[in-house]
Structure 1
């Protein structure tokens, strides 16, 4: 006895025109992907300049958002400037690997002309009444929060100082290792005639 599932019987059969259109669409999107890969490879310098500009803007915005302290802000911006060459290498590899497919997918959604999904309706949720704290508990919690914030500031400062010292040490070692090494070979001395 054979068991046949109801779902497998209810699948609609696609017309040959739709199948041909899907096949053509797939081929053309592969062409778009290959063209985008070619564009990225041929315009390497331009892509790297774009990535540099985006890094400059994004690093400053992120540091301004995350570090309010003037000292930390300036220090982190200097570290970001020093780490830019490392970012450039990794960003180029990522961009070369992923961007043609991402751009091709985005372009395909643009030419699909699919109606956007209906916006979900706002749902009102009733929140049960929360137990309020007494003045003593509130004051104790406020003091604990202040103390934890103080500890976070100290840990952030220590981390920044340690990273700065590490960066300076690496830079100094790289600078000093570039100096020519002295030779230990003796130079023969010739007497003038």
Structure 2
């Protein structure tokens, strides 16, 4: 007499049996994610003033931090902060266009990864391996690097001087016109 368990008979599950159900779920998932994308686009369009205020705040903080990090000389630092304040409207226009074009899709993709509940632990390892394997630039000798640093510093000084002169000319022109 042979005893056969019922569970032992159904150990292999045919993937084709669940295929229509899975494909229907994938279609519904894709439609819902498209709905999320459209809703985010509508939200950004209807709350454009809020998006502009957010971008302004990010620009204020980011511009000051990057100027403080890159420029140590006080007079040049102050001048660049003034230039950053004057260029804010241009940034706002460019950033708003970029935000409207790219952010709904980026946010949708991020939200989809949050609700997919897939194993995300493998993704950072793959990225780290790809970055570690790539070396696009050969390591240069220290003499070339030091010469390159000297050249870059002189270019920064030249550009800073040109910027200061341009701002001074702009100021003088504005004063004469008034």
| TM-score (normalised: structure 2) | 0.70
1:161 equivalenced with 2:165 (yes/no):
no
Aligned residue number for residue 111 of structure 1: 115
User: Whole-Å Cα distance in 2 between the matches of residues 155 and 87 of structure 1?
Assistant: 24
Q: CA deviation at 1:167?
A: 3.7
**What is the CA RMSD across the aligned residues, in angstroms?**
2.9
User: Whole-Å Cα distance in 1 between the matches of residues 76 and 152 of structure 2?
Assistant: 13
The alpha-carbon distance between structure 1 residues 31 and 159, as it changes in their structure 2 partners (threshold 3 A), is same
- Cα deviation digits, residues 57-109 of structure 1 (max 9, x gap): 11111111111222221121111111111001100111111111111111000
Q: How does 1:67-82 map to 2 (within 5 A)?
A: 67-82=71-86
Q: CA deviation at 1:155?
A: 3.3
The alpha-carbon distance between structure 1 residues 112 and 175, as it changes in their structure 2 partners (threshold 3 A), is farther
SS in 2 for 1:97: helix
Q: CA deviation at 1:117?
A: 2.8
User: Whole-Å Cα distance in 2 between the matches of residues 86 and 79 of structure 1?
Assistant: 12
Answer with 1 or 2: which has the greater Rg.
1
Deviates more, 1:165-174 or 1:35-44: 165-174
Aligned residue number for residue 30 of structure 1: 34
SS in 2 for 1:15: helix
SS in 1 for 2:57: helix
Q: How does 1:2-13 map to 2 (within 5 A)?
A: none
Retained in 2: the 8 A contact 1:75–1:160?
A: no
Q: How many residues align?
A: 147
User: Whole-Å Cα distance in 2 between the matches of residues 17 and 148 of structure 1?
Assistant: 61
1:39 to 39, 43, 55: 43
| TM-score (normalised: structure 1) | 0.65
More helix by share: 2
- Cα deviation digits, residues 102-129 of structure 1 (max 9, x gap): 1111100000011223475x99xxxxxx
Q: How does 1:58-73 map to 2 (within 5 A)?
A: 58-73=62-77
Gaps of 5+ in 1: 1-11, 124-137, 180-193
1:55 to 59, 70, 94: 59
Q: CA deviation at 1:166?
A: 2.3
The alpha-carbon distance between structure 1 residues 175 and 98, as it changes in their structure 2 partners (threshold 3 A), is farther
Retained in 2: the 8 A contact 1:37–1:96?
A: yes
